[in-house]
């Protein structure tokens, strides 16, 4: 007979994860205030996501920086509790294709699908691409692979254009999922901060919504209202 009011039941050792990828353009066009603003923005994202009761339990971050080359920092997805905003420097060209290659590789390698080793699958990854919209390598092939994932609804991608050389038409060609243009004309630093705050809100909202049955996973539906500095790139 049991005298205890508590039940001693075996629970899983880990929960479902919400993968969040940040693809950050660190090319020459971002030099100066731009790259500083991005760094502050990532710090804000780290701070506010860690401070959210629900997002803190699930969000895992993968940061891919790209300029002449591309690099997936920390080699994969990092729990938000262990994540630290990286130091960023701007130089070189915009190797978006290489960044998308790393993204595709990580999605295949690091994101868990249900049943692999009887483990829980991850929530649908959320991908933010921040770029000057002026790629200098072969980006079309890898972009096609990412677009295929988006159309199969296995990821959510949001593309944001920024920087002085931004070409809106080119951004449309690059964009996967909803795309925005960051208006830096009045306050560059403030604009980036507002973008990252909105991005954090999107992540925390998605982290909560994902745990509910039948919750819509269409990012376009779940996006919080963008700040005024973030304009739809129609």
Partner 1 sequence: MSGTDQSTYCAGMAFGDTAIRHVDAHLDWRAGHARHESYGVVGASAIGHLHLRNTSRRDDAFAVRGLGRWLAVAVADGDGSRPQSRIGACYCAEALSEGLINVAAHLRATPTGAESRGGHADPSDDSGADTTIPPRDRGRLGSGPPGVDANTGEFATAEYIPVSLAERTAPPPEANDSIGLVGWNRIAYQQGHPGSGSPSPGQAATAATRDLGQAVRQAFTATRAGLEAFIHSRRQHLQDVPCTLLGLVMDTTTGEFACGQIGDGAITALHWDGTPHLLLTPPSPGGTGEVYVITQSDWGDRLAVSAAKAAEAARIATLFLMTDGVAEDAIYGPPVDQFRRWSQSIDRELRASHQLAATAIRLLRFLATYEVPGSWDDRTLVAVLANRTVHPEELPPTGASIPTPEPTSSRAGPADADNP
For every residue of 22-48, DSSP letters joined together read: EEEE-SGGGTTHHHHHHHHHHHHHHHH
User: Rounded CA gap, 19 and 3, in Å?
Assistant: 42
Handedness of CA 101, 78, 24, 55 (dihedral sign): positive
**Strand 70-72 and strand 59-66: pairing?**
antiparallel
Radius of gyration of the chain (CA): 18
CB 96, CB 174: distance < 8 Å: yes
Of 140 and 211, nearer to partner 1 (C-beta) is 211
Of 40 and 120, nearer to partner 1 (C-beta) is 120
Of 9 and 234, nearer to partner 1 (C-beta) is 9
Q: For residue 47, what are its two tokens? A: 């701070």
Q: At its nearest, how many Å lie between partner 1 and the CB of residue 62?
A: 17
Of 13 and 169, nearer to partner 1 (C-beta) is 13
Of 25 and 52, nearer to partner 1 (C-beta) is 52
Q: Residue 131 pairs with which residues in a beta bridge?
A: 161
Q: At its nearest, how many Å lie between partner 1 and the CB of residue 51?
A: 15
User: Rounded CA gap, 93 and 148, in Å?
Assistant: 26
CB 205, CB 222: distance < 8 Å: yes
Q: How many CA atoms lie within 13 A of 193 on its CB side?
A: 9
Of 125 and 227, nearer to partner 1 (C-beta) is 125
User: Rounded CA gap, 67 and 139, in Å?
Assistant: 13
Contact residues: partner 1, CB under 8 A: 1-2, 5-18, 53-54, 57-58, 114, 117-124, 153-154, 208-217
Q: At its nearest, how many Å lie between partner 1 and the CB of residue 8?
A: 6
Of 1 and 87, nearer to partner 1 (C-beta) is 1
CB 203, CB 59: distance < 8 Å: yes
Q: At its nearest, how many Å lie between partner 1 and the CB of residue 230?
A: 24
Q: At its nearest, how many Å lie between partner 1 and the CB of residue 158?
A: 17
Q: At its nearest, how many Å lie between partner 1 and the CB of residue 167?
A: 33
Q: At its nearest, how many Å lie between partner 1 and the CB of residue 52?
A: 11
């Amino acid at each position: 007979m049991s005298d205890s009011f508590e039940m001693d039941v075996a629970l899983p050792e880990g929960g479902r994860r919400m993968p969040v990828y940040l693809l950050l353009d660190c090319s020459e066009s971002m030099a100066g205030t731009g790259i500083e603003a991005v760094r502050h923005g990532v710090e804000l994202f780290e701070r506010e996501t860690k401070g959210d009761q629900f997002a803190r339990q699930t969000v895992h971050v993968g940061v891919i920086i790209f300029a002449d080359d591309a690099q997936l920092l920390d080699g994969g997805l990092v729990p938000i509790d262990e994540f630290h905003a990286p130091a960023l420097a701007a130089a070189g060209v915009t190797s978006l294709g290489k960044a998308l290659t790393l993204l595709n590789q990580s999605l295949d390698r690091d994101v868990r699908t249900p049943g692999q080793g009887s483990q829980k699958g991850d929530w649908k990854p959320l991908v933010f691409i921040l770029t000057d919209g002026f790629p200098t390598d072969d980006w079309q092939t890898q972009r096609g692979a990412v677009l295929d994932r988006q159309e199969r609804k296995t990821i959510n991608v949001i593309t944001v254009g920024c920087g002085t050389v931004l070409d809106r038409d080119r951004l449309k060609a690059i964009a996967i999922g909803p795309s925005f243009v960051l208006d830096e004309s009045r306050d560059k630093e403030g604009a980036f901060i507002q973008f990252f705050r909105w991005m954090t809100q999107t992540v925390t909202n998605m982290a909560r919504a994902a745990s509910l049955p039948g919750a819509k996973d269409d990012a376009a539906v779940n996006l919080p209202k963008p700040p005024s500095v973030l304009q739809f790139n129609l």
